[in-house]
Structure 1
Amino acid sequence: MRVIVDIGHPAHVHFFKNTIWNLEKKGHQVMVVSRDKDVVIELLDAYKIPHTVLSKVKQGKIHLFEELFIRDSKLYNIARQFNPDLIMGILSPTVAHVAWALGKKSIIFNDTEHAKIAQKLTYPFCDIICTPTSFKKDSGKKQIKYSGYHELAYLHPAYFSPNPEVLQELGVEVGEPFIILRFISWGAHHDVGQHGIDNKLALIKELEKFGKVFISSEGKLAEEFDRYRIRVPSEKIHDLLYYATLCVGEGATMAVESAILGTPSIYVSSLAGTMGNFSELEEKYGLLFNYSDSEAALTKAVELLKDPELKKTWGLKRATLLRDKINVTEFMVELIESLPGKKSGVSVSAVSDESYV
């Protein structure tokens, strides 16, 4: 098979990397197209994944539509030459548009219920919509549900083993408490008009009473926060999350990553409660807490940090989650390889309960 993968966000690199490598090992040809956003290019280069940059992100809603036109145009020309059997991405209108225009198959992965504009621009043109079983919206006949999360495509034990050596780069000892904060730029189409942590400095000062504080930031940090910036290669962030005592942040992806890795996670956003994976991680597994109020989030953080058995307890919760969930990369590869012979536009029936739900 010939497959094009669209990478538009740092989390997409992690989500697709194992699938890309597995497909290539099986003899399939994979082309990757990318978007210059945050550390996307840095990650792809670190993993030695060849890619073609379609666009560079700009701030402002109007630029999102300008960029969409550029990406559609460039990918159309690339796909005409590459002649793929399949184009796939995470809620990528460009993937759906180009595949539809060229009569190719497309798979869209999505775990963000509130990304309504992107869904309206994408769903009518794609063949398959893959969502976690926790996804709160019915996406119709094109939808395939699987018992997992995007983050399990790269944090499942089959693919991830934590490396404690990264702690030396931060000057942290094994077992020493430390907290990771995640700030985002709120520039994504589904983040416009939303907000997160109100008083970042007050939060830092309170958390510092319990351990060292490190910040991962999507955008440029204010000078007063720069000394807290995590200064390790981006591909090592999951090792840090695994060993962290607590993660507090505005970023949805890192919040889920932390929870899946067995690190208590507090998600602070006006979007709290809108996404099914977050609700499930809180209500069913108790691994993550959702707050729209910063003060309430800080109170919960302090409560957790006072618990000497915190990491042990979360390790047990993580084990329960892993018993319930599938190897998402394995699901992706099997789904992709099942497509040859199926006509574009034809819905693919849900995979067997035994395998994926």
Structure 2
Amino acid sequence: MKILFDIGHPAHVHLFKHFIRYLLSEGNTVIVASRDKDITNELLKKYAIPFVSISKKKNGFFGLFIEFIERLVRVFVLERRYKFDLAFGTSSSIGFLTLFCGVKSYNFCEDDDIAVPFHALISYPLNTKIINSKGVKYRFWKNKRVIHNSYQKLAYLHPNRFHPDESAIRKYSLTPYSYVIVRLSALNAHHDIGAKGIDAELLSKVISEFGDYRIIYSREIEGSHQINIEDMHDVLYYSKMLISDSQSMSVEASCLGVPSIRYSTFVGKLSVLGQLENKYGLTFGFQLGQEERMLEKIRQLLSQKDLTADYSKKRELLLQDKCDFTEWMINFFQSEKDLT
């Protein structure tokens, strides 16, 4: 089969990388249309996944609209060349292949529809199926929903896929649980308009709580990362804690059993993170105006003697409930392939 993957974010490289390898091993033709955003293309190179970069990230509503048109045109150029049977992705482009070319499209999203209204409005009516995690909230297009009992991050952070390597952290003169990761998101995606996260004043207060712990920074807006891309998940696994205004890395930390503190206007608006916080107790969200509560939670976690062991147990409970998402995608593909 000829299969398109439309990948626009570094997290989606991780999401699909094992699935893509499986498809290639089965003799399928796979074309990856990428977006030059942050480290997306670097990751594809790292994992030896052939790709065609069809757009470069633009900012602002008008810039994002121009980029959307560019991607759409170039996706149709790829379709004219390859004649795809299926299209997988997280973008809006693949739905238009369904509308105009009859290509079956499968849109993967872990956000509630209300959190990504523009994406939902222009994508979901066109997609063949919408792939959501259990608990994601939606009101429309119910007949298109395919619900799985996993998280997208478990496509690459499930123990079947991820095996932590302590030697990776030694490259940075780190020892397990002696450091904290601070992840600052750019908050400039289409669904981030008006969003706010950790500012310089709050960051200074947060850092002062950690005393002798080493601070590892990852700043998306500056493209500044102290850790090589291939080591990031190992470094996250062995960290004491994650402080972040990034929803994506907060979910990753939870899947690895690392306590995380997140602060942004998105807190309380995403069901997946709500589930990780309220059911599994793996992450804690704070909204603007709750800075003192956030600092108190950091102090509480740091004072807990068995913090790492406790969160490892919480992770085990999560893994008892949730499946390997790559395995789920493979099984889903087989069932859809039989219908094609």
Shift of 1:44: 0.7
Shift of 1:260: 0.8
Matching residue's letter, 1:164? E
- C-alpha distance in 2, partners of 1:336/1:83? 18
Q: 1:27 to 1:128 in 2, by over 3 A?
A: same
Q: In the alignment, does 2:128 pair up with 1:109?
A: no
Q: In the alignment, does 2:193 pair up with 1:192?
A: yes
Match of 1:225 in 2: none
Task: State TM-score, norm by structure 1.
Answer: 0.90
Shift of 1:236: 1.5
Matching residue's letter, 1:112? D
Residue-pair matches, total: 334
The two structures, once aligned, show a CA RMSD in angstroms of 1.5
Higher mean alpha-carbon deviation, 317-326 vs 130-139, is at 130-139
Match of 1:42 in 2: 42
Match of 1:310 in 2: 307
SS of the residue corresponding to residue 73 of structure 2 reads helix
**How high is the sequence identity, in percent, across the aligned residues?**
33
- C-alpha distance in 2, partners of 1:7/1:99? 17
Matching residue's letter, 2:111? T
Match of 1:269 in 2: 264
Match of 1:153 in 2: 155
Following TM superposition, where does structure 1 have runs of at least 4 consecutive aligned residues deviating by more than 3 angstroms?
Answer: 340-343
Aligned residues of 1:169 and 1:232 also touching (Cα < 8 A): no
Q: In the alignment, does 2:330 pair up with 1:333?
A: yes
Matching residue's letter, 2:100? A
Q: 1:176 to 1:339 in 2, by over 3 A?
A: closer
**Structure 1 gaps, min length 5:** 222-228, 344-357
Shift of 1:210: 4.7
Q: Which deviations, in whole Å up to 9, do the C-alpha atoms of 1:181-216 show, x marking residues without a partner?
A: 110111100111010113244135314315111111
Match of 1:166 in 2: 168
Q: In the alignment, does 2:19 pair up with 1:11?
A: no
Aligned residues of 1:194 and 1:269 also touching (Cα < 8 A): yes
Match of 1:259 in 2: 254
Task: State TM-score, norm by structure 2.
Answer: 0.95
SS of the residue corresponding to residue 302 of structure 1 reads helix
- C-alpha distance in 2, partners of 1:125/1:24? 27
- C-alpha distance in 2, partners of 1:98/1:232? 38
- C-alpha distance in 2, partners of 1:103/1:341? 17
SS of the residue corresponding to residue 58 of structure 1 reads coil
**Structure 2 gaps, min length 5:** none
Q: Which deviations, in whole Å up to 9, do the C-alpha atoms of 1:220-262 show, x marking residues without a partner?
A: 17xxxxxxx6423212111111000000101111000001101
- C-alpha distance in 2, partners of 1:124/1:60? 25
Match of 1:287 in 2: 282
Match of 2:128 in 1: 127
Matching residue's letter, 1:66? I
Shift of 1:86: 0.3
Matching residue's letter, 1:300? K
